């Protein structure tokens, strides 16, 4: 993860990292990909389903990902459509939790647009 201003990050990623990694990454991703598609999305959905079953299907559970779809913003929208007043986040990668605060803050929604208020907490 690169935590630098957006423009600098874009120049670094698109100008240096992506071109250098493309050759190596392509063959590695082909080995990781399954018949079900992205392993991260596939197993993330399995975790979401098991958590939903664990709460006896009484509470809404959504999957959101930082760099893939469904996005975290989309997951929050999905939960808000179900009139939740609290969102509890269970990150699969706790090392990136600080970014979740910017995305999930009540009254903020990734880029700062006003949204319905809700409380939220992150379990590390």
pLDDT in tens, 24-40: 778 888 888 889 998 98
Query: What is the per-residue pLDDT for 106?
Result: 54
Label each residue of the chain as H, E or C: CCCCCHHHHHHHHHHHHHHHHHHHHHHHHHHHCECCECHHHHHHHHHHHHHHHHCCCCCCCCCCECCCCCEHHHHHHHHHHCCCCEEEECCCCHHHHHHHHHHHCCCCCCCCCCCCCCEEEECC
Residue 78 has pLDDT above 70, yes or no: yes
Q: What is the pLDDT of residues 91-119, one digit of tens each?
A: 777 665 556 656 665 555 444 444 556 67
């Amino acid at each position: 993860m690169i935590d630098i201003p957006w423009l600098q990050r874009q120049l670094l990623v698109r100008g240096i990292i992506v071109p250098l990694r493309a050759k190596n990454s392509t063959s590695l991703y082909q080995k990781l990909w399954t018949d079900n598609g992205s392993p991260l999305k596939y197993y993330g959905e399995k975790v979401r389903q098991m958590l939903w079953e664990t709460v006896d299907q009484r509470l809404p559970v959504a999957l959101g990902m930082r760099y893939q779809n469904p996005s975290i913003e989309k997951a929050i929208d999905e939960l808000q459509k179900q009139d939740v007043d609290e969102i509890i986040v269970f990150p699969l990668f706790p090392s990136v939790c600080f970014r979740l605060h910017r995305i999930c803050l009540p009254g903020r929604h990734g880029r700062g647009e006003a949204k319905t208020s809700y409380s939220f907490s992150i379990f590390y």
